[in-house]
Structures are given as structure tokens and as C-alpha cells.
């Protein structure tokens, strides 16, 4: 979810145009007033009852969910998220509507994948080259690097429309894929209507290269909803689980996303998934030969940007966003995630890792790309467009502006806590 390299402004107060400080736009406000005026008649629009959601999808697809396999993990994950949103996180009517549609979309993908597995088993027997997976903190340059490398002819990065609606109608055709793309374009248009300044924090379009966390959401790992609606406890719960079933589902979704004529396509998948940083052992069990690029940025800088990003998304979905509470919740979540990632790196020393420093990527993107390509075994050179290089270095008008202090983030305190975590992990048996 990281966008163009942002500016971190610590001292000056934020200008009036700071995106996360603005009021919700007219559309969420009008919707909330309308639903409240309807009373009981409008309550069903944001119904988060698990059985209701499940039955809607079963009627839509024309078959029931079958217990067993990776569905058991997905069902538990969906139920965990929904219980948190019903019982602990206050949402506006508009927030409940968006969350309901998010869950329905992902449940539909999960059930349609089950149908595809039964009807077209040969698709899932295809072998594809070991993927390249970019991980690291959110807002640490993962999107920037991903979109640079995605232009390489030997790589294949999924686009937004493929990730939002990952199960094609089979047998595939250009018309059917076009319908999927148009459907996602409508969803994105609706999203920009609700959050018109989203581009300030993360530029997303129907054909842009996007992050593969969307391929984990049909397994109930509702990462985008953690930021958009604020149920940080869902991320905490996921960190207590073995997420291997979700990565098996991701593997099968990638197999489905390759068109039929790609049977001999040896391009490597280029995936970007910051949340995988917290689930590295599960990912490596499913993709043991993956090449992992780990973006590194100081936690205090990434965390402040993450909080601002989440505040922008939550403006229309929650009645009030407490910036200091948001900062505290994010801090605890990211410290736990940092510890999990550090332990995973120690436990898998032979995995194919490399680190990229955020500051070096921003200052010298061409040099960073030139170093990575031979390590990845890619023979063709990739030129970083001059405009992209200039944007990375200019960091002027249109920047994402935020202050760590707005979210109660004290760099010295955070650095001290991070050092304690690292020291504790270093003292653990290898």
C-alpha cells in the first residue's frame, strides 16, 4: 500500500490540505443521513451477520461452501473479522455498507475458486517459475519498487482488476475478461467518490500494478479492511495463525489468472505484499523457491505514513478517528509484526533474500534496479524512466504530508522499544 516516496514533516503544523485531517466527503455524509432516516428499513444494507453473508454468496454462485481444506481457515478468519466489526469497532452506515460489499466480493471469489478447482483441475497442475515477492513495512517504498520492476519483459505483475476479481469466468474469453475489468473500474470509481483524495496517499487505477494482499482476502485475511475500518485486533489474531492455507489459495488464484495461451510462459510472477512480512514462514512453505526483496525503512517514518493513510480511509467509515489511539494501535501491531519478521529471517537463513534500503531506492532508483536484476537472474536491462526518477527526487507539490506527533508517535520512545524487541530476539536460541 505504499505510494510515491512521501515527505515526513516533523516540526511544522500540517497545512489545511492535509488529506487525513479533512471531513468526510458529501457522499458518505449523505448516505449516512439517508440510512439513519430510513431506520429499520435501511439496516439491512450494512448487515454483517455471517450466515446472511454466506447464504447470499451461496445463492449467487449456485452451490454451498463445503467444509474442509483451506475453507476452514477462511471461515474462521472471516468470522473473526466480522465479530470484531460488530462488537468492538464503531462504523458509520456507509462503513458497514462498504465492509459488507468487501466481504461479499471476497466470499464470492472463494466459492468460485472452489467451483473452478472441481471443473478444471488441470489448471491447478500447472507449474510456474518461482515468484519474486516484495515485502517490507507498509509505506516503505514497496509500491514504488514494484511498479519499477513490473515493466521488465521477463516479469508478470498482476493488475488491479485481476486482483479485485481474481477468478475469471471459465472458459476464458476477452469479452469475459473485459467485463471483469469494467466491473472493477466501477468499484474504483465508487471508491474515489467516497475518498476523492485517495491519490494523495496511494495512486490506484484499474490497470495499475497492485499488491497481492488482495489474493489473501478471499481467505478471510481482510488486510485492506484493517486500515479502512480499524479492526487492528484482526491483524493480531492472524499473527497467531498458520496462514499456509491462504497462501495455497493464493497459489491457485495465480494459476487461474494466467491465460490459457500462457502454458509456456516462463515470466516470473512479481508480487508485492507488505502484510506477507508478518507471515513469511507460511509464504515460504507454499513458495519455497521464491526470491524475497525486503524493503527497509525506519519504523517511525513508515508508521507515521501508515497512520495518515489509515486516517484518510477511515474518514467516511467511522464516526470519529482518534489519531492518538490510531497511532497507539498501529504501533503495537507493527512492533509485533516486526518481531515475527525478524524471527522468520533467522529461521530461514537459506531462503533467497535481499534487502533494499528505502533511502537508497529513492535517491538512486536506477542503481537499485541495476543491482537487483542480476540477483534475480534477469538478463535484460531495465531503464528507469527519467520522469519517475525526477518524481522520486523532487518530493515537492502534491506530496503526502503528515507529522508523527499528530498520531502520538515519539521517535525516541519508538526506537527504544524497537531496540528492546531486537535485543530480546537476538538472545533467543537460534
pLDDT value for 2? 41
Q: Are 102 and 229 in contact (CB under 8 A)?
A: no
Q: How many CA atoms lie within 13 A of 103 on its CB side?
A: 28
234: three-class secondary structure by DSSP: helix
- Residue (of 96, 109, 119) closest to 48 by Cα position: 96
Q: What angle, 0 to 180 degrees and rounded to 10, lies between the N-to-C axes of helices 26-38 and 93-119?
A: 90
Looking at residue 388, its pLDDT comes to: 60
What CATH number matches the domain at 19-26+129-426, 3.40.50.300, 1.10.3720.10, 3.40.50.1860, 3.20.20.70? 3.40.50.300
Residue 53: CB atoms within 10 A of its CB come to 17
What is d(CA 295, CA 268) in angstroms, rounded to the nearest whole number? 20
pLDDT of residue 403: 87
Residue 276 pLDDT:
96
Q: What's the pLDDT score for residue 20?
A: 60
Task: Return the pLDDT at 5.
Answer: 36
pLDDT reported for residue 11: 29
pLDDT attached to residue 1:
41
10-residue averages of pLDDT along the chain (430 residues): 35 39 71 84 84 97 93 96 91 91 96 95 88 94 95 94 91 82 88 74 86 96 89 93 97 84 76 95 95 94 91 87 94 95 88 92 96 95 75 46 89 95 90
Burial class (CB in 10 A: 0-12, 13-18, 19+), 18: buried
Give pLDDT, residue 8. 32
Q: Read off the pTM.
A: 0.89
The CA distance from 85 to 230, in Å, is 9
- Distance, in Å, from the CA atom of 266 to the CA atom of 259, rounded to the nearest integer, reads 13
CA 263 to mean position of chain CA atoms: 28
Each domain of the chain, given as residue ranges in start order, spans 19-26+129-426
- CA distance linking residue 2 with residue 143, whole number of Å: 5
- Helix, strand, coil % (nearest 5) of the chain? 60, 5, 35
Q: What is the pLDDT of residues 325-335, one digit of tens each?
A: 999 999 999 99
pLDDT in the model for residue 4 = 37
Amino acid at each position: 500500500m505504499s505510494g510515491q516516496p512521501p515527505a515526513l514533516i516533523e516540526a511544522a503544523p500540517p497545512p489545511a490540505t492535509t488529506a487525513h485531517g479533512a471531513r468526510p466527503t458529501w457522499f458518505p455524509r449523505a448516505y449516512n443521513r439517508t440510512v439513519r432516516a430510513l431506520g429499520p428499513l435501511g439496516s439491512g444494507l450494512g448487515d454483517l451477520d455471517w450466515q446472511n453473508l454466506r447464504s447470499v454468496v451461496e445463492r449467487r454462485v449456485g452451490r454451498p461452501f463445503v467444509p474442509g481444506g483451506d475453507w476452514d481457515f477462511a471461515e474462521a478468519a472471516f468470522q473473526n473479522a466480522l465479530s470484531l466489526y460488530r462488537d468492538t469497532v464503531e462504523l458509520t452506515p456507509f462503513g458497514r455498507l462498504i465492509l459488507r460489499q468487501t466481504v461479499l466480493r471476497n466470499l464470492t471469489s472463494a466459492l468460485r475458486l472452489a467451483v473452478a478447482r472441481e471443473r478444471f483441475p488441470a489448471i491447478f497442475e500447472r507449474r510456474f517459475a518461482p515468484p519474486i515477492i516484495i515485502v517490507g513495512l507498509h509505506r516503505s517504498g514497496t509500491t514504488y519498487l514494484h511498479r519499477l520492476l513490473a515493466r521488465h519483459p521477463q516479469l508478470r505483475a498482476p493488475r488491479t482488476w485481476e486482483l479485485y476479481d481474481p477468478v475469471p469466468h471459465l472458459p476464458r474469453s476477452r469479452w469475459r475478461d473485459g467485463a471483469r475489468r469494467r466491473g472493477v473500474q466501477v468499484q474504483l470509481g465508487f471508491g474515489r467518490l467516497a475518498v476523492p483524495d485517495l491519490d494523495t496517499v496511494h495512486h490506484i487505477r484499474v490497470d495499475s500494478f497492485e499488491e497481492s494482499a488482495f489474493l489473501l482476502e478471499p481467505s478471510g485475511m481482510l488486510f485492506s479492511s484493517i486500515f479502512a475500518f480499524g479492526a487492528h485486533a484482526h491483524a493480531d489474531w492472524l499473527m497467531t495463525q498458520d496462514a499456509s492455507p491462504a497462501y495455497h489459495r493464493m497459489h491457485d488464484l495465480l494459476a487461474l489468472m494466467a491465460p490459457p495461451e500462457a502454458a509456456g510462459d516462463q515470466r516470473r510472477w512479481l508480487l508485492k505484499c507488505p502484510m506477507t512480512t508478518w507471515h513469511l514462514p507460511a509464504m515460504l512453505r507454499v513458495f519455497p523457491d521464491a526470491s524475497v526483496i525486503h524493503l527497509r525503512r525506519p519504523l517511525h517514518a513508515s508508521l507515521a505514513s501508515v497512520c495518515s493513510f489509515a486516517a484518510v480511509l477511515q474518514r467516511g467509515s467511522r464516526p470519529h478517528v482518534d489519531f492518538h489511539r490510531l497511532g497507539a494501535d498501529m504501533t503495537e501491531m507493527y512492533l509485533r509484526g516486526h518481531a515475527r519478521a525478524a524471527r522468520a529471517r533467522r529461521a530461514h537463513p537459506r531462503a533467497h533474500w535481499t534487502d533494499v534500503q528505502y533511502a537508497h531506492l529513492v535517491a538512486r532508483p536506477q542503481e537499485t534496479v541495476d543491482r537487483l536484476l542480476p540477483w534475480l537472474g534477469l538478463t535484460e536491462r531495465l531503464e528507469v524512466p527519467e520522469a519517475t526518477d525526477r518524481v522520486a527526487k523532487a518530493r515537492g507539490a502534491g506530496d503526502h504530508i503528515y507529522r508523527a506527533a499528530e498520531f502520538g508517535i515519539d521517535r525516541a520512545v519508538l526506537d527504544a522499544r524497537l531496540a528492546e524487541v531486537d535485543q530480546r530476539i537476538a538472545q533467543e536460541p537460534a
